[in-house]
Amino acid sequence: MVGDTAVLIERNLLTVRRIPTLLLGATVQPLMFVFLFAYVFGATLGGGSYREFLMAGIFTQTVLFNAAFTTVGLANDMADGIVNRLRTLPMSRLAVITARVSSDMLLGVLGLAVMVACGYIIGWRIRGSALDAVIAFAILLLFALAMAWVGAVTGLAARNVEVAQSVGFLWMFPVTFLSSAFISAASLPGPLRAIAEWNPVTAVATVSRARFHNAAPPDFPVPSGWPAQHALGYSVLWSVGLLVVCVPASLVLYRRSARR
């Protein structure tokens, strides 16, 4: 399986090399969000202190949105016939999905690196220790891996590329914005507050801010509740839980797709 996966990772990365515009979604789109929130919305939400608060949310949003590349890429592979050819070869069934997830994770790491550089340009800094920074990035990458497998399930369940693209983004926006990625969850009313507090995006963003030692603007309400107090364990629990569910589910969907 390792050898099969490595060959298919190389194939996926060669596609990016030959069509470099595929990198735009992993790099340019997050940059647009950074400048939009930092300078358009940030002017009324705390200026420099809000930019410190913002970057952890942007990092979390970036790794979550990268799941769309897995969704569309896998759906495209299923539609253009390459997967049917791979089925005829004596190779691991899981290698096709694992390779897609792995190659998209590599692109996600590149996008995250671009975000870090952009954050330093607008004034964001890692104010914690090196160990804290490593833990924060490890949590982000674990969440990115879990989201990539969610994207794989979505891509395999979709009937065609158009459906995959629509469904792939449909759930990402409410999950991302109904959280504390860009605001304090404690400022939301009623049931929206409860949803945002228990949202895994909130937990990942909270852990990242805590490890980077990035404080919220002074007028932001302080979050409370079990998820806020146990954000590290809660984010790990969500990521591991999604992997436990989505890895076998993607294999089941891959096998069923052969009978379509």
Residue 19 has φ and ψ, to the nearest 5°, of -125, 75
CA 32: distance to chain centroid? Answer: 16
* Integer Cα distance of 163 and 170 in angstroms: 10
22-36, 130-144, 181-195: which has the highest mean pLDDT? 130-144
Q: What is the mean pLDDT of residues 109-129?
A: 89
217-234: pLDDT as tens digits:
888 888 878 898 999 999
Number of H helices, E strands in the chain: 13, 0
Query: Please, which residues have CB within 8 angstroms of residue 104's CB and are 6 or more apart in sequence?
Result: 12, 66, 69, 70, 73, 148, 151
Cβ neighbours for 14, distance < 8 A, ≥ 6 positions apart: none
Q: Where are the alpha helices (DSSP H) in 123-230?
A: 130-157, 161-170, 172-177, 190-198, 200-212, 226-229
| pTM attached to this predicted model | 0.91
